Amino acid sequence: MSVSNGRAFLAIPGPTTVPDQVLQAMNRPAIDLYSGDHLDLTASLLADLPKLFRTRGHAYIYAANGHGAWEAALTNVLSRGDHILVLDSGRFATGWGEMAEAMGVSVEVLHGDWHSAVDPNKVEERLRADAKGDIKAVLVVQVDTASSVANDIEAIRAAMDAAGHDALLMVDAVASLATMPYQMDAWEVDVTVTGSQKGLMTPPGLGFIAASDKARERRRLNANLVTRYWDWSFRDGNEHYMKYCGTPPEHLLFGLRKALDMLLAEGLDNVVARHQILADAVRAAVARWAEAGALSFNITDPAHRANSVTTVRTKGFQPKALLDYAREKCGVTIGIGIGGLEATAFRIAHMGHVNAPMVLGTLGVIETGLKALEIPHGKGGVEAAIETIAGVVKA
């Protein structure tokens, strides 16, 4: 028996659900890349993207996924042999660091564990010890999509300032932009990297960067890793094709335009509040289920749990059995654990185009699976989620 036919739900942390309006905006013929319409589209995107990052700095759009945007960021500000510091809190900052290493950068990892956020005191301590200023950049993720930790970027900036260190602060906001507060200028972030397919509700294939003046100055002065495709200076050129270093990824841009319209119409603060409420609902359910001991939060401190994804640890059962049940029997795809957590965790995504029925439906399916598979769990997880939402969202 199965009850999976109907609209399939994707509850994985990227790619996320693409709104029908975004899909429809893409369903049109290609346009002339030299036309005024296309120039206007590009200008509007480059004007609106910085609003998401809350920066007056420059945005760049790449036909690339998040990994491409990572490479873009590194090549524009670093030179072969530069030393950088990677703040580990899961899989993604270290992955970014591995990419830098492959490019000839000397990479030092400030190790963390997968259960807590980066400790700003340790960052300060390490930077204080670097009196000569060898460390050229500090790399960190705002949300690590494997561990589901949310790092405090503002506190990390404060730690860098307290150490009086001049390194660039480079932040991966792929799994957090438009889901949690982000203040690029107020937090003095130099480079922010993100992608289209998570909070931005657009199909995979676009990478974005926002760069501060200081970062762009680095590019001009001494970044010898730069290559033409990623080069900000080339993309700063006047001709339209230069903005993309070739033919623009037109249909993705049509989709992105619609997605940004939707986010800006809702209002960024409301978008963030929606994610907060829905994440609180997920956490209320997980906390209830966890009472029987077979499930637990991967991130110990509630203050550092992401509002975009929740990694749930499992004990005494294979998460695959639960995920297979959810997908095959009930039509909801839930994220697997990654980076070594395949057999001991699953991930519930609550990011992007999500609303109460999608989250309550997903939680309902997980609870159904826990019951059907006879996995020990505290009763009433969905009820706890409902109480959370009803407690905040008033008539």
Instruction: Say whether 336 sits in a helix, a strand or coil.
Output: strand
Please check whether residue 123 is in contact with residue 93, taking contact to mean a CB–CB distance below 8 angstroms: no
Looking at the Cβ atoms of 278 and 384, the one nearer to ligand PLP is 278
What is the rounded distance in angstroms from the CA atom of residue 353 to the CA atom of residue 259? 10
What are phi and psi for residue 256, nearest 5 degrees?
-60, -40
Q: Which stretch binds ligand PLP (CB under 6 A): 21-29, 101-109, 167-175, 258-266?
A: 167-175
Please check whether residue 308 is in contact with residue 383, taking contact to mean a CB–CB distance below 8 angstroms: no
Q: For residue 42, give Cα distances in angstroms to 34, 96, 228, 238.
A: 11, 28, 20, 12
How many of the chain's residues bind ligand PLP (CB under 6 A)? 12
| Contact residue for ligand PLP among 18, 45, 141, 189 (CB under 6 A) | 141
The beta strand positions in 46-148, using DSSP E, are 58-63, 83-87, 106-110, 135-141, 143-144
What are phi and psi for residue 7, nearest 5 degrees?
-70, 125
Looking at the Cβ atoms of 57 and 66, the one nearer to ligand PLP is 66
Looking at the Cβ atoms of 180 and 211, the one nearer to ligand PLP is 180
Residues 196-215 that bind ligand PLP (CB under 6 A): 204
Residues 35-94 that bind ligand PLP (CB under 6 A): 65-67, 92
Looking at the Cβ atoms of 165 and 198, the one nearer to ligand PLP is 198
Q: Min. distance of Cβ 239 from ligand PLP in angstroms?
A: 28
Give the DSSP H or E segment for 179. none
175 binds ligand PLP (CB under 6 A): yes
What is the rounded distance in angstroms from the CA atom of residue 148 to the CA atom of residue 310? 5
310 binds ligand PLP (CB under 6 A): no
Residues 92-111 that bind ligand PLP (CB under 6 A): 92
Q: Which stretch binds ligand PLP (CB under 6 A): 126-134, 171-179, 219-227, 350-358?
A: 171-179
Task: Enumerate binding residues for ligand PLP (CB under 6 A).
Answer: 14, 65-67, 92, 141, 145, 172, 174-175, 195, 204
